[in-house]
Structure 1
Amino acid sequence: MVFTDVDMPGSMSGVTLAERVNESWPDIRLVLTSGRHRFADREVPDHGLFVPKPYRASQVIDAIHRAD
């Protein structure tokens, strides 16, 4: 499981990280978050999930369970 923000410090975005994880380790599930960007779940690599900010811990936990 990888849970990452779309906007990360440095030159790599969370979307790029998710794409690279999906390419190298397709069995790892992906959950993205952002307070600036909105994605439909279908836009997240490998049918991952998107949780918009601000979020409650229960929303993240639910996304992790659904991503399995």
Structure 2
Amino acid sequence: MPTGPLHDRAVNSMVDGEPTQKVFPCRCMIGEDHIEGVDFFPDEEEPEGLSFAGAEEIWLSSGMDEDYDFR
């Protein structure tokens, strides 16, 4: 059975209403750290119109590269 490189596997769970996380060494084929179980921090979209305050200045100072347009 093939194995991947050593990395961490975190398992989230709720115990008595409290979020807990246990980390175990893992050699699965994912090959990088991963989290399983309850999602404590669901992805929240940033409200429209809000962005990083310095994004325009960074883009202008970086040669206006379209790959790095964070505005």
- Alignment TM class, shorter chain as reference: under 0.3
Scaled by the length of structure 1, what TM-score is found? 0.21
Scaled by the length of structure 2, what TM-score is found? 0.20
Larger strand fraction of residues: 2
Q: Which has the larger radius of gyration?
A: 2
